[in-house]
Amino acid sequence: MSLDDLVVSTEKIDTVYVTKLQGNLNNFTAEKCIKSVINSLKHGSVILDLEELNMVTTQGIIAFKTLSEEAFLHKHKIILVNLPLSVRQAFLMAGVRNLFPIANNEEAAFKMASRPSR
């Protein structure tokens, strides 16, 4: 997989959209990620499975911040699950904390996503 590859796959389970990101989130792929997640946010909460996300650059961090703002505007949640160490480190280096709830596993993510937003 090259640096400009990102596979975004979304599956609707009940009222929650599960989006898996595979590859790299950078200036080449950020817009693709944002468009896909916003499309799901229009209809419900989103669980972002990042298990196969290899790399997040500064532009990827900006994409996550954009998604946080969009989730607020659409009154739905984005819950992160399966964060690789490289993604956690990218968030720490960028000073990003508490942008999204992070679930320990898929079951916890579904419980969080199913709760009404305040």
pLDDT tens for 39-71 read 999 999 999 999 999 999 999 999 999 999 999
Q: Residues 68, 78: contact at Cβ < 8 Å?
A: yes
For the ranges 44-53, 64-73, 87-96, 103-112, the lowest mean pLDDT is seen at 87-96
User: Model pTM?
Assistant: 0.91
Confidence band, pLDDT 50/70/90 cuts, at residue 116: confident
Task: Give the relative orientation of helices 85-93 and 58-74 as an angle to the nearest 10 degrees.
Answer: 90
The set of residues, in sequence order, having a beta carbon less than 8 Å from that of 73 and lying 6+ positions away, is: none
Confidence band, pLDDT 50/70/90 cuts, at residue 94: confident
DSSP E strands, 28-69: 46-56
Distances in whole angstroms, Cα of residue 102 to Cα of each of 1, 2, 32, 78, 111: 27, 28, 22, 9, 12
The torsion angle over the Cα atoms of residues 78, 83, 88 and 89, rounded to 10 degrees, is -140
* Structural domains of the chain sorted by starting position, each given as residue range(s) with its CATH number in brackets: 6-108 (3.30.750.24)
**Residue 95 confidence (pLDDT):** 85
Q: Residues 21, 53: contact at Cβ < 8 Å?
A: yes
